[in-house]
Amino acid sequence: MKDKLYDGKTAIPFQGDLVPEKDKLVFLSEQKSFSFQYSDILNLDPVGREFRLEIRNPENPRFSFVIVFYSKESYSSILVGRKSQKKFPFLDIWQNTNFALKIGALILTAFLAFSVYNTVLSYAYIFVPTSYDKKQSEVMSGWVRDYFSECSSPSLKSTMKKISKKLKDVDDPFDYNIIVIDDEVFNAFAMPGGTIVVFTELLKKTETPEELAGVLAHEMAHIHKRHGVRRQISSAGNVLLLSLGIGSGFEGVDMLENMDSLYEVLSVTIYDQKFSREYESEADEVALEKLKKSNLTGEGFLTFFKRIQEEYDAPVEGEEEQETVKVPDFLSSHPATEDRIEYVKNIISHPEYPKGKLGISNKEWNRIRELCSPVKPKKEFKNPLGL
């Protein structure tokens, strides 16, 4: 059976014989003879009883030749010839590896690369000046005040400032600006650079000022440890690595070449969540240290976590139990509340941990936490679609 050479210009092949020589490949046909270097070989695969060789066209790089041949001896000779001329044998192995093994190798390599890469990336924030954090705080705090109803009560503002001042470490480079927003949202969050946003619903659900001190210590820890900037760096770095790193060896596979959005989703859902959990755990640890240095009890912090567990983790009595889908730990942005409770309980149970209070009675706190005097926001959200 004659070997066949397809030149990419016509569907009718040249028929002849493929002859592997020591330093080159020759295809001999009645119409024309072709000569190739082993370095021009792009791919070589056994397919059933035949062998298919894809080889670069030295005269026109836009087209490649495909040679179909049937001799096992020729196949073995070509492998030896390629190996003798390959300066990088690993590339030859990679090019001839099947698709499934390439996927497996990619996943393993990506995992190892990400582990090392993210370890290095986690220290990159030290090259970013703290002025960058402060500028972000200035911009974002202005945005919050423009679009949300801020509480303007002097007593409430004074109490917030008093607590944050007591919790601030000597080596902390940031000045804390606490904005209380009049909204039924049980939450608080920190912005890079010193701004902390607390919602009135959270204040109303704290029974003691020490509970709020635990929450503020946690948010201040995020800022002090620069978690916002560190997360920005890790997110941008992972998206860049995924976008640049995936695709090698998969040229021509459109499904993999056009999945930039998927790379970003993978980065956000897995690596960002991983960093978020680590930052939350570190913030809990630093918050307890801040409370300790300030001679404040950690009981309020513990009580606050227990309230979260009661309200959000435990089923409500009398309601029919519904099936819920538990979010896997590696996709969760926070550590499990139960684990956080056990950690806080263990730390504050040590005999040397302080039992100090803020000096604000429960009666006074009940009065202060209800104060707000909301200011109407300067701007309104506008739907870009006009709906």
The CA distance from 216 to 150, in Å, is 18
The CA distance from 367 to 138, in Å, is 30
Among candidates 263, 280, 291, which has minimal Cα distance to 114? 263
**Is the CB of residue 225 less than 8 Å from the CB of residue 283?**
yes
Q: Do both 282 and 140 map to the same domain? A: yes
Q: Do both 180 and 38 map to the same domain? A: no
Residue 297 CB coordination number (10 Å): 21
The CA distance from 64 to 9, in Å, is 10
What average pLDDT does range 300-306 have in this prediction? 93
pLDDT at 158 over 90: yes
Kindly tell me the burial class for residue 108, based on how many C-beta atoms sit within 10 Å of its own C-beta (0-12, 13-18, 19 or more). Answer: exposed
pLDDT of 129: 94
Domain hosting residue 65, numbered range: 3-95
**Is the CB of residue 215 less than 8 Å from the CB of residue 304?**
yes
pLDDT at 328 over 60: no
The CA distance from 105 to 19, in Å, is 34
Q: Enumerate residues 6+ apart whose C-beta is below 8 A from 181.
A: 144, 148, 149, 150, 151, 197, 198, 199, 200
Residue 336 located in a structural domain? yes
What average pLDDT does range 77-102 have in this prediction? 70
Residue 251 located in a structural domain? yes
pLDDT of 324: 44
Residue 319 located in a structural domain? no
Confidence of residue 253 (pLDDT cuts 50, 70, 90): very low
DSSP 164-184: HHHH--TT-----EEEEE-SS
The CA distance from 257 to 248, in Å, is 9
Residue range 8-52, pLDDT digits in tens: 888 889 999 999 998 889 999 988 888 888 888 888 989 888 999
DSSP 52-85: EEEEE-SS-TT-EEEEEE--HHHHHHHHHHHHHH
Residue 121 located in a structural domain? no
Residue range 187-239, pLDDT digits in tens: 899 999 999 999 999 999 999 999 999 999 999 999 999 998 888 887 777 66
What average pLDDT does range 286-296 have in this prediction? 96
The CA distance from 244 to 231, in Å, is 20
Q: Do both 171 and 257 map to the same domain? A: yes
Percentage of the chain with pLDDT > 70?
A: 78
What average pLDDT does range 346-353 have in this prediction? 94
Instruction: Tell me which of 30 and 151 has the higher pLDDT.
Output: 151
Percentage of the chain with pLDDT > 90?
A: 47
Residue range 357-370, pLDDT digits in tens: 999 998 999 999 99
pLDDT at 154 over 90: yes
**Within the chain, where are the H helices?**
72-85, 89-95, 99-121, 130-147, 154-167, 200-204, 209-224, 227-245, 254-257, 260-266, 273-293, 299-308, 337-348, 362-368
Residue 347 located in a structural domain? yes
Residue 337 CB coordination number (10 Å): 16
Q: Do both 224 and 265 map to the same domain? A: yes
What average pLDDT does range 273-279 have in this prediction? 69
Q: Which CATH number characterizes residue 77's domain? A: 2.30.29.30
Q: Do both 86 and 162 map to the same domain? A: no
**Is the CB of residue 85 less than 8 Å from the CB of residue 67?**
no
Mean pLDDT of the chain: 81
**Is the CB of residue 70 less than 8 Å from the CB of residue 79?**
no
pLDDT at 257 over 50: no
Counted domains in the chain: 2
Residue 34 located in a structural domain? yes
pLDDT of 327: 40
Residue range 169-181, pLDDT digits in tens: 998 999 999 999 9
Residue 144 located in a structural domain? yes
Q: Do both 7 and 54 map to the same domain? A: yes
Confidence of residue 102 (pLDDT cuts 50, 70, 90): confident
pLDDT at 387 over 60: no
The CA distance from 120 to 348, in Å, is 33
The CA distance from 44 to 83, in Å, is 13
pLDDT at 67 over 70: yes
Q: Do both 91 and 141 map to the same domain? A: no
pLDDT of 271: 46
**Is the CB of residue 15 less than 8 Å from the CB of residue 1?**
no
